[in-house]
Amino acid sequence: MFSLSRPIVFSFITKLGETPGGAPYSVDAMVAGLCLALSFQMIFHGMVNQFRDVFVTFGKEDFSGVIRFMGFVTVCGIAGIAFVNATPLGEWYLSVVQSAEGETLEVAKQCMWVLVLMPLALMLRNYYHGLSLVHRKTRGMAFGGIIRNGSIVAGCLILYSFGVYNHIVAVALLVGGFAAEGFGVQFATRKWRRAL
């Protein structure tokens, strides 16, 4: 389920090339720039995404400690992405380390700003994933994955049909999809969480 999210948003970006004047940049530049932004974001995404493992290891013995740690790491992730974006470090990383230039560089920089919100969406999702894993009730996680991809597809279809779909919308839908997954898992696990 996790691996489907990006192909969904990319498939709608490539559709923009079929519509004359439908893309603000070349389709190749939007795909490349979005890929660069997402790979950059993984530097910060990775540490937040490990919360499920932290929950399984420490959740039962120190629940409040795990929550504090999650909050601290999430704030650090958001601050880290924002700092890199707001300083010359972001452009240096993209242009020197990743050799991006022209439209690809512009697209990547724009997408990186939207990704500042990704650690927050992942924290929400991984909080409920962690609870599900600790209590060995993981059906809600599958439901959340369906909600994530379903919400991304719906958002793509609607915004593409209105002619407002682009690389920024694509990355915002990815972030929103992970948040929707968190709310989906929250909804799917509400009965057994109330019973605890």
pLDDT in tens, 74-104: 999 999 999 999 999 999 999 999 999 999 9
pLDDT at 174: 95
Nearest to 171 by CA among 99, 116, 104: 116
| Structure-token pair, residue 43 | 């530097």
Is residue 81, in this structure, part of any structural domain at all?
yes
Residue with tokens 């795909």: 31
pLDDT at 16: 83
CB of 119 closer than 8 Å to CB of 44: yes
Is residue 196, in this structure, part of any structural domain at all?
no
CB of 26 closer than 8 Å to CB of 160: no
pLDDT at 20: 63
CB of 98 closer than 8 Å to CB of 36: yes
Q: Where are the alpha helices (DSSP H) in the chain?
A: 5-16, 27-49, 51-58, 63-86, 88-92, 102-114, 118-134, 139-161, 167-188, 190-195
Is residue 11, in this structure, part of any structural domain at all?
yes
pLDDT at 135: 87
- The pLDDT profile of the chain, 196 residues, written as one tens digit per residue, is 778 899 999 999 988 876 666 677 888 999 999 999 999 888 888 888 888 888 888 988 898 999 999 999 999 999 999 999 999 999 999 999 999 999 999 999 999 999 999 999 999 999 999 889 888 888 999 999 999 999 999 999 999 999 899 999 999 999 999 999 999 999 999 988 888 7
Is residue 28, in this structure, part of any structural domain at all?
yes
C-alpha dist (Å) from residue 15 to 18, 29, 106, 177: 5, 14, 20, 20
Is residue 194, in this structure, part of any structural domain at all?
no
Beta-carbon contacts of residue 123 (< 8 Å; ≥ 6 apart): 48, 51, 70, 71, 74
pTM exceeding 0.85: yes
**Cα 115 from chain centre:** 7
Is residue 195, in this structure, part of any structural domain at all?
no
154: number of Cβ within 10 Å: 13
Is residue 138, in this structure, part of any structural domain at all?
yes
pLDDT at 185: 93
pLDDT at 160: 92
34: number of Cβ within 10 Å: 24
CA-to-CA distance for 4 and 13, rounded, in angstroms?
15
Is residue 160, in this structure, part of any structural domain at all?
yes
Show the domain range for 85.
2-189
pLDDT at 21: 65
Total number of domains in the chain: 1
